[in-house]
Amino acid sequence: MKAYPLPLQRLIKELARFPGIGEKTAARLANFILHESEEEAKSLAWAIMEVKEKICLCRICYNLAEGELCVICSDPRRDHGIICVVEDPDSLMAIEETGDFHGVYHVLHGSLAPLDGVGPEDIKLKELLDRIEKTPVKEVIIATNPTVQGEATAVLIGRSLKEKGIQVTRIALGVPVGGDLRYTDRLTLGKALTFRRHLDAT
């Protein structure tokens, strides 16, 4: 990298800070940017600055938003009595892309990880409980990831809401559609059995 001019070295160093981007990939990206027109380079820089200046967190659900409320919380057609709890905005987007959920969300921005020093106060759990106290809610769907941290977070949320008379559900976990049981890992098969449902034969 020392063979590159100093400004290019700085750009490579900055790009290499991105998740999943190593020094070689950063160098390829930097060279791509170098060969772009000045107008295209300015457009990229402007887009980055616009994101930093205009994107904030929704004051209700903590999803990414351009204003005080995100597009979901500001939609009167959504069922605001059903809250789906997710770990991050990417999980929210994944559920939205199914087109099957018409409630609203709460984004925790993390999950419990005591070994990494992440406790309940480090995620938006208190905000969820405060929200439920102030808003009529009939169901909370816990859609945290099927990891040790995600499961621990789901259990804590379930316990926190146990006495509030709200239906608390967990998304089903198990064998993917089109999957083959022979190649499914033991944990996934166990979850599939645990979250089995009645078969509607009509």
- Domain range for 180 is 173-202
Q: Are residues 158 and 86 in the same domain?
A: yes
Are 164 and 194 part of one and the same domain?
no
pLDDT of 202 reads 54
From 54, 69, 86, the end of a domain falls on 54
* 156 and 198 inside one domain: no
Q: What is the pLDDT of residue 168?
A: 93
Q: Is residue 72 part of a domain?
A: no
Q: What is the pLDDT of residues 104-134, one digit of tens each?
A: 999 999 999 988 899 999 999 999 999 999 9
Q: Which residues of the chain have pLDDT under 70?
A: 1, 198-202
Q: CA separation (Å) from 196 to 20, 171, 174, 183, 184? A: 36, 12, 9, 19, 16
Domain boundary residue among 38, 54, 70?
Answer: 54
> Following DSSP, what letter does each residue of 152-175 receive, concatenated?
HHHHHHHHHHGGGT-EEEE---SP
Q: What is the pLDDT of residue 59?
A: 96
> Could you tell me if 46 and 82 lie in one domain?
no
Residue 181 sits at the vertex; the CA angle it makes with 168 and 149, to the nearest 5 degrees, is 40
pLDDT for position 114: 87
Residue 192 located in a structural domain: yes
- Structure-block tokens of residue 123: 């995620």
Number of folded domains in the chain? 3
In this predicted structure, what is the pLDDT of residue 5? 92
Measured distance CA(64)–CA(153) in Å, rounded: 21
| 37 shares a domain with 88 | no
